[in-house]
């Protein structure tokens, strides 16, 4: 939660537009008229990974200004044992509307990372360096953030973000920033989409790695990921 944007929350998923019956009721990005109530949290460990499973209720003041459950969220975060070169962290997010006619949308929100950016940060997708723009950039289904995160006297590190091919909506839309902001893979964008009672599932993977891993290796890791 940095001082310049206290509503940036490390790794997070949030949407500016939370709409009910075509009316804006909350802003999940800036935490306006919304709260998140933990219902359950479990941690499971084995030799290969640690898994956190959580159940959350999104609440917003609706009728009579009473906090009312509007979304039930189930999230699984799986942190794999690190190798000499990398560590994998998986995110599986499922959102279930508890009200009819509930919609979510951006500006260009979705799954976000607020990284402490080094001056030499670069963005690479499928062996192509990507230049940030003010608006969304169309690139591949994964993006690698590479730089001297530990300081200029240390080797570079990469944080690659994979968006699973099963995620809804168009693939490869990114908001990228070189200074003082988050990095974001866009879903659904500025036009809200219905959040069904049967659920919306969003899956992402982080690969934190040394800079010796090439784009071709990340591409192979991505292909392995979407085959799971």
**pLDDT tens by residue, the chain, 228 residues:** 677 777 777 889 999 999 999 999 999 988 999 999 999 999 999 999 999 999 999 999 987 788 999 999 999 999 999 999 999 999 999 999 999 999 999 887 789 888 888 899 999 998 788 988 877 888 889 999 999 988 888 889 999 999 999 999 877 889 898 887 788 888 898 899 999 999 999 999 999 999 788 889 999 999 999 987
Cross-strand bridge partners of residue 58: 36, 71
- Conformation bin of residue 165: beta by default, left when phi > 0, alpha when psi is -120 to 50: alpha
Q: Cβ distance 210 to 157 under 8 Å?
A: yes
HSE-CB of 163 using CA atoms within 13 angstroms: 21
Helix (H) or strand (E) holding 207: strand 200-210
DSSP code string of 171-203:
S-EEE--SSSS-EEEESS-SS-EE--TT-EEEE
- pTM attached to this predicted model: 0.92
């Amino acid at each position: 939660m940095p001082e310049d944007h206290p509503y940036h929350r490390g790794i997070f998923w949030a949407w500016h537009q939370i709409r009910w019956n075509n009316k804006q009721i909350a802003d999940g990005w800036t935490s306006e008229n919304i709260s998140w109530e933990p219902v359950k949290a479990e941690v499971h460990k084995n030799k290969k990974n640690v898994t956190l499973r959580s159940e959350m209720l999104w609440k917003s003041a609706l009728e009579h200004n009473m906090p009312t459950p509007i979304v039930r969220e189930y999230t699984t975060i799986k942190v794999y044992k690190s190798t000499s070169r990398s560590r994998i962290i998986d995110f599986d997010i499922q959102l279930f509307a508890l009200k009819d006619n509930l919609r979510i949308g951006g500006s260009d929100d979705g799954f976000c990372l607020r990284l402490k950016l080094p001056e030499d940060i670069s963005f690479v997708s499928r062996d192509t360096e990507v230049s940030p723009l003010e608006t969304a950039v169309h690139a591949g289904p994964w993006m690698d953030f590479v730089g001297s995160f530990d300081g200029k006297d240390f080797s570079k590190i990469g944080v690659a973000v994979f968006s699973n091919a099963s995620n809804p909506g168009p693939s490869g839309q990114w908001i990228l920033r070189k200074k003082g902001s988050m990095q974001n893979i866009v879903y659904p964008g500025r036009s809200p989409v219905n959040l069904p009672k049967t659920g919306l599932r969003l899956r992402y993977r982080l690969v934190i790695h040394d800079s010796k891993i090439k784009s071709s290796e990340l591409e192979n890791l991505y292909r392995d990921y979407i085959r799971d």
